């Protein structure tokens, strides 16, 4: 499942109150919580975190990406609906996810929030790069489809077009053989119930509520690649057990062969969903370094 690789922020730098203090509201009147660090820089890097129930402010991966990909840029990160930095960090499953998050967090909402803020800030910067990992990579692609004038887009281990396919792939890779069929059958029944439902019902599965699952299971995650007007760089680990690397390769290569010349796909051997090698050492910095020179010379 797309929860292992989480993109979020740890470092708090000075911001420009004239820019970062501006409030932005959703259609329902709630405030979009965001952080704009090093706001006076010439360029802007936007990073979307993965699919966990955590504040974007309490994680470390984004620091590596920011400092490796565009260290002199401003950094924009955005909280999910119902979450702020008062929520303590927790890894894995947790029982204290905010009710508003479980009710309202969806990919669509995250995309809408991202588009609203990028559109608000982009004219203040010379160039804008949008990036994300796992679910955050899917959000980055979908947001980039709706924002013009971006410099480039980077998606890290965001997987195939189908959220359901990648979850089933993960079950096949990680659940013991004796329990695998039961786990697959249970998930497929759950997915069918969500997709066929006409009214929301109470659910909390892997830190997500009904709205998230309904949205994610019905979305084509790679469709934005066909219409994004900026260069797109996609990095996919071959030892990823949270998404299906081979399905991802086939689907993206089909989009490229159909005429999408703005896409660069790189498959990386020996690394897992979090870009750890066989010794458990993170290679995220090296991975991002491998693409940063290409992106920054475009």
Residue 49 near residue 7 (C-beta atoms within 8 A) = yes
Structure confidence at residue 19 as a pLDDT band (50, 70, 90): low
Asked if residue 108 belongs to a domain, the reply is: yes
The percent of residues above 90 in pLDDT, for the chain, comes to 86
Whichever domain contains 33, its CATH number is 3.40.50.1820
DSSP 243-280: S-HHHHHHHHHHHHHTT-TTEEEEEETT--TT-B-TTS
Asked if residue 187 belongs to a domain, the reply is: no
For position 247, what pLDDT does the model report?
A: 98
Asked if residue 1 belongs to a domain, the reply is: no
* Average pLDDT of the residues in 180-202: 97
42 has pLDDT over 70: yes
Q: How many domains does the chain have?
A: 1
Tokens found for residue 226: 């066909």
Structure confidence at residue 133 as a pLDDT band (50, 70, 90): very high
Tokens found for residue 83: 């979450």
| Domain of 83, in residue numbers | 17-166+205-296
- pTM (two decimals): 0.91
136 has pLDDT over 70: yes
Asked if residue 239 belongs to a domain, the reply is: yes
The alpha carbon of 32 is separated from its chain's Cα centroid by a whole number of angstroms, namely: 17
Is 21 or 9 the better-scoring residue by pLDDT? Answer: 21
Asked if residue 24 belongs to a domain, the reply is: yes
């Amino acid at each position: 499942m797309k929860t292992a690789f989480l993109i979020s922020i740890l470092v708090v730098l000075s911001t420009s109150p004239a820019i970062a203090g501006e409030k932005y509201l959703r259609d329902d009147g709630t405030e979009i919580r965001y952080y704009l660090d090093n706001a006076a820089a010439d360029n802007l890097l936007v990073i979307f975190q993965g699919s966990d129930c955590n504040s974007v402010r309490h994680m470390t991966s984004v620091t590596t990406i920011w400092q490796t990909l565009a260290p002199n840029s401003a950094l924009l990160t955005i909280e999910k609906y119902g979450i702020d930095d008062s929520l303590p960090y927790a890894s894995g499953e947790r029982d204290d996810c905010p009710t508003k998050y479980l009710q309202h967090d969806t990919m669509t909402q995250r995309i809408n929030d991202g588009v609203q803020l990028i559109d608000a800030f982009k004219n203040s910067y010379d160039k804008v790069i949008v990036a994300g990992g796992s679910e955050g990579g899917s959000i980055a692609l979908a947001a980039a489809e709706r924002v013009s004038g971006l410099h480039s887009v980077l998606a890290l281990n965001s997987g195939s077009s189908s959220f359901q396919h990648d979850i089933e792939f993960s079950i096949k890779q990680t659940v013991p053989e004796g329990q695998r069929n039961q786990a697959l059958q249970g998930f497929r029944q759950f997915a069918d119930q969500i997709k066929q439902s006409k009214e929301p019902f109470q659910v909390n599965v892997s830190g997500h509520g009904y709205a998230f699952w309904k949205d994610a299971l019905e979305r084509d995650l790679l469709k934005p690649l066909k219409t994004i007007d900026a260069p797109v760089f996609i990095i996919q680990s071959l030892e990823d057990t949270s998404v299906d690397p081979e399905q991802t390769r086939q689907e993206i290569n089909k989009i490229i062969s159909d005429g999408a010349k703005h896409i660069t796909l790189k498959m990386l051997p020996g690394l897992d969903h979090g870009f750890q090698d066989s010794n458990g050492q993170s290679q995220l910095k090296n991975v991002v370094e491998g693409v940063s020179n290409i992106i920054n010379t475009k």
